[in-house]
């Protein structure tokens, strides 16, 4: 037996056991800079094994934030559960009680302050992470305390955990996924595609761009030959508001892998202006099957131009682009567009 490895495992386990858990007050950071009217007095402490937040000042508010450790993250857990007692908290409907950071820019509201139940009784609130469409693991969490008219507020948390099953008394938060905004690119609305041989160093003499259903199929013939097809988007796209770029594609033949498949720019030439490449040719799988791609664009500019690039590294390269869209959240692809399947005319035999 490797005693060195055993010692490392034992030390790691001991460190996790001895580390403060998520209800340890020392891990919760007050975020004074996040609010315009912070409390006159505030504190987070552990009392009788529970986490207690206190704040003073009528209608003052303060969020506390915690960062979860890797050993606290349950990737497959469906619910975030909080068991609490609220005394003197205000519950306006348009603010948050729980806010999580799970991969969505700015995070998501997990539960609104309007869902807080005040009084001497204990309450259990659960956040359905599937319902709010969490994009990944919850890495950070914030709890906001808004002081009521009495001028003093106390929030006592007995349990805060990621779980798969809910206790009988749990109420599921009314929070839902943010409204999706999307701008699709319909090939029929872009007009005739004009090739731009001047955008390449070895322009092809045999090439085509042909409508195929709702998609557009691009083809280049000839080894080490290239072609580009620039076009003006039907309307400018604000990539700060719609940062997700997605498409379906099918590629075959011998694609050159050193160029882009899709380019986006603020202006046609790209010179001195902002531009980005959401899809590289090397990102594509040239197996003749349909695939999907979704990327988050980090450059927040207004895209007005798109260009398709295709290089041929052999006799022929073909690429069909369909379902291009810009969206505020990652798209939810229909299963039929993700899996190769056939519809049966009758039921499976017994």
The pairs formed by 182-185 with CB atoms below 8 angstroms and a separation of 24 or more are 182/242, 182/325, 182/326, 182/327, 182/328, 182/331, 183/235, 183/237, 183/242, 183/325, 183/326, 183/327, 184/323, 184/324, 184/325, 185/233, 185/234, 185/306, 185/324, 185/325, 185/326
Over its length of 350 residues, how does the chain's per-residue pLDDT go in tens digits?
Answer: 444 443 333 333 333 444 568 999 999 999 999 999 999 999 999 999 999 999 999 999 999 999 999 888 866 789 999 999 999 999 998 999 999 999 888 899 999 999 999 988 999 999 999 888 888 899 999 999 999 999 999 999 999 999 999 999 999 999 876 778 899 999 988 888 999 999 999 999 999 999 999 999 999 999 999 999 999 999 999 999 999 999 999 999 999 999 999 999 998 665 558 999 999 999 999 999 999 999 999 998 999 999 999 999 999 999 999 999 999 988 877 766 666 666 677 777 76
Distance, CA of 11 to CA of 107 (rounded, Å): 34
CATH number of 182-337: 2.60.120.430
Q: Indicate the length of the chain as a whole number.
A: 350
Q: Where are the domains of the chain?
A: 21-172, 182-337
pTM over 0.85: no
Integer CA distances (angstroms), 231 to 100, 204, 258, 310, 318, in order: 39, 19, 21, 15, 19
Burial of 111 (0-12, 13-18, 19+ CB in 10 A): buried
**Structure-block tokens of residue 17:** 């056991």
Q: Tabulate helix, strand, coil % of the chain (nearest 5).
A: 10, 45, 40
- Asked if the domains at 21-172 and 182-337 fall in one CATH topology, the answer is yes
Q: Which CATH architecture has domain 21-172?
A: Sandwich (2.60)
Tell me if 266 sits within 8 A of 301, measured CB to CB. yes
Distance, CA of 10 to CA of 135 (rounded, Å): 33
C-alpha closest to that of 195 among 176, 177, 209, 184: 209
């Amino acid at each position: 037996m490797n005693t060195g490895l055993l010692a490392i495992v034992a030390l790691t386990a001991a460190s996790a056991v001895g580390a403060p858990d998520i209800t340890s007050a020392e891990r919760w950071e007050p975020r004074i800079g996040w609010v315009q009217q912070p409390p006159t007095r505030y504190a987070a402490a552990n009392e009788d094994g529970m986490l207690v937040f206190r704040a003073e000042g009528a209608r003052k508010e303060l969020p506390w934030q915690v960062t979860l450790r890797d050993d606290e993250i349950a990737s497959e857990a469906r619910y975030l559960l909080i068991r609490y007692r609220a005394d003197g908290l205000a519950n306006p409907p348009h603010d948050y009680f729980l806010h999580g950071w799970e991969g969505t820019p700015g995070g998501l509201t997990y539960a609104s302050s309007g869902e807080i139940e005040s009084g001497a009784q204990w309450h259990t609130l659960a956040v359905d992470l599937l319902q709010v469409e969490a994009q990944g693991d919850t890495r950070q969490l914030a709890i906001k305390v808004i002081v009521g008219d009495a001028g003093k507020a106390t929030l006592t948390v007995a349990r805060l955990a990621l779980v798969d099953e809910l206790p009988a008394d749990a109420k599921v938060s009314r929070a839902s996924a943010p409204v999706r905004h999307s701008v699709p690119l319909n090939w029929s609305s872009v007009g005739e595609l004009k090739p731009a041989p001047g955008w390449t160093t070895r322009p092809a003499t045999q090439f085509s761009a042909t409508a195929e259903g709702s998609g557009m199929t691009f083809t280049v013939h000839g080894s080490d030959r290239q072609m580009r097809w620039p076009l003006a988007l039907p309307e400018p796209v604000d990539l700060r508001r719609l940062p997700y770029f997605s498409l379906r594609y099918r590629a075959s033949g011998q694609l050159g892998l050193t160029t882009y498949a899709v380019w986006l720019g603020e202006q046609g030439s790209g010179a001195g202006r902002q531009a980005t490449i959401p899809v590289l040719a090397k990102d594509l799988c040239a197996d003749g099957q349909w695939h999907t791609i979704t990327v988050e664009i980090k450059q927040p500019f207004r895209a007005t131009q798109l260009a398709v690039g295709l290089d041929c590294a052999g006799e022929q390269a073909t690429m069909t682009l369909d379902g291009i869209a810009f969206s505020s959240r990652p798209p939810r692809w229909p299963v039929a567009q993700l899996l190769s399947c056939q519809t049966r005319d009758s039921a499976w035999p017994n």
